[in-house]
């Protein structure tokens, strides 16, 4: 009898070891593919666009500084709104001050933009910094999960708003109708699934546990806990109408201010985009950038947005200049800001420790 139990236990352990090895191989393969995709996009999309922009040095030199300062202010306000969104979804009982949450978010965005497939690293960075600031593990995991879900749903809403506003100005084509219907099904289905999950939280946890039974026990427990915390935080947030409304407001403001910065820079170079069409392009490119192929969608955003703007009426030169100027603020600027924010947060506990000594 004991031999059978020992044999079964050793079989389970061997299965978990094999599963862990498979996951490790998959992670390595995905990282290699992400790096290869990044190099290809840099070589054939990003670098050629910078070269093309360098040919228009006269336009850049003749540009008034005021549109650049306005775009900079809009991007900083967008980052501030993103921090307010995160602050709203964290548990009020142990969340840090808004300034701390803002710096944690900046560190996360900088990590996402700096490392291939950096989303996972950014989550780890944010978790560590929020935990050091006093937030509980369940509050951090659930809060960040709710933030990601809500932010992505609102991005889908930006795309839908752009489609509705631009239907009259776009040339008649079934492709726009198909794209709109597809986005409504995807994001509407996600919202409905989330609402059902909130109503049937225990069933969801049981279903997730069954679906992940082949994973190692440690991984399975983490996945089940993550889903349960996320659903629980959504339920708690939905009951607090004031906090829920504030989260939706700041999440929408985050995207709209970022899109406004893009509009200002395109207008500065000579292309006043139709607001609806710009939101349509912005929403579509933002949805594509969610897929973690390259850090912060580097190469994907530029490679898709420029031809779409040209198709809507911009010249190629203006589209390249506007998109590159916007990406300098939206993609490159958060990296040094994130590094400074992380250093300030990490130095704070050390300073307190030295004072107590």
Which pLDDT tens digit goes with each residue over 78-112? 999 999 999 999 988 889 999 999 999 999 999 99
Instruction: Assign 237 a pLDDT band (cuts: 50, 70, 90).
Output: confident
DSSP structure class, residue 171: P
Give the number of C-alpha atoms closer than 13 A to the C-alpha of residue 152, restricted to the C-beta side: 18
pLDDT band at 46 (very low <50, low <70, confident <90, very high): low
Residue 249 above 70 pLDDT? yes
Indicate the pLDDT class of residue 72, thresholds 50, 70 and 90.
very high
| pLDDT of amino acid 240 | 82
Instruction: Please choose, from the candidates 4, 283, 35, the residue with its C-alpha nearest in 3D space to the C-alpha of residue 161.
Output: 283
The residue count for the chain: 357
Crossing angle between the packed helical segments 137-166 and 217-239, to the nearest 10 degrees: 60
Rounded Cα gap, residues 312 and 315, in angstroms: 9
- Report how far apart, in Å, the C-alpha atoms of 342 and of each of 27, 128, 274, 347 are: 26, 11, 38, 8
Per the model's pLDDT, the better-predicted residue between 210 and 327 turns out to be: 327
**CA atoms of 235 and 255, how far apart (whole Å):** 24
**Dist CA 84 CA 251 (whole Å):** 8
Say which residues have a Cβ less than 8 Å from residue 208's Cβ, sequence separation at least 6. 223, 224, 227, 228
Note the pLDDT of residue 174.
Answer: 63
CA separation for the pair 279, 282 (Å, rounded): 5
Q: Lowest-pLDDT range, 116-120, 284-288, 339-343?
A: 116-120
**Whether the predicted pLDDT of 34 surpasses 50:** yes
Mean pLDDT of the chain: 80
């Amino acid at each position: 009898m004991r031999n059978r139990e020992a044999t079964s236990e050793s079989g389970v352990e061997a299965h978990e070891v094999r599963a862990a090895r498979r996951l490790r191989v998959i992670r390595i393969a995905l990282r290699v593919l992400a790096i290869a995709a990044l190099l290809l996009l840099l070589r054939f999309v990003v670098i050629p666009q910078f070269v093309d922009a360098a040919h228009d040095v006269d336009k850049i030199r003749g540009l008034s500084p005021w549109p650049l300062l306005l775009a900079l202010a809009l991007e900083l306000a967008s980052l501030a709104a993103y921090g307010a969104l995160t602050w709203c979804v964290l548990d009020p009982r142990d969340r840090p001050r808004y300034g701390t949450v803002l710096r944690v978010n900046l560190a996360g965005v900088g990590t996402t933009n700096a490392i291939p497939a950096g989303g996972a690293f950014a989550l780890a960075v944010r978790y560590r910094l929020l935990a050091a600031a006093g937030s509980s593990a369940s509050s951090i995991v659930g809060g960040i999960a709710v933030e990601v879900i809500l932010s992505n749903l609102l991005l889908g809403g930006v795309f839908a708003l752009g489609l509705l506003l631009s239907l009259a100005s776009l040339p008649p084509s079934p492709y726009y109708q198909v794209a709109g219907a597809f986005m409504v099904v995807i994001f509407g289905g996600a919202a409905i699934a989330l609402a059902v999950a909130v109503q049937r939280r225990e069933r969801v946890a049981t279903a997730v546990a069954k679906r992940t039974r082949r994973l190692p026990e440690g991984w399975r427990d983490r996945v089940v806990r993550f889903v349960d915390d996320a659903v629980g935080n959504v339920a708690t947030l939905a009951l607090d109408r004031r906090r829920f409304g504030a989260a939706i407001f700041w999440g929408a403001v985050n995207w709209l201010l970022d899109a406004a910065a893009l509009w200002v820079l395109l207008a500065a170079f000579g292309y006043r985009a139709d607001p609806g069409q710009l939101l349509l392009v912005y929403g579509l490119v933002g949805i594509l950038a969610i897929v973690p192929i390259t850090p912060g969608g580097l190469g994907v955003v530029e490679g898709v947005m420029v031809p779409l703007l040209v198709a809507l009426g911009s010249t190629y030169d203006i589209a390249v200049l506007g998109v590159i100027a916007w990406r300098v603020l939206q993609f490159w600027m958060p990296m040094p800001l994130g590094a400074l924010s992380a250093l300030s947060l990490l130095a704070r506990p050390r300073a307190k420790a030295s004072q107590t000594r």
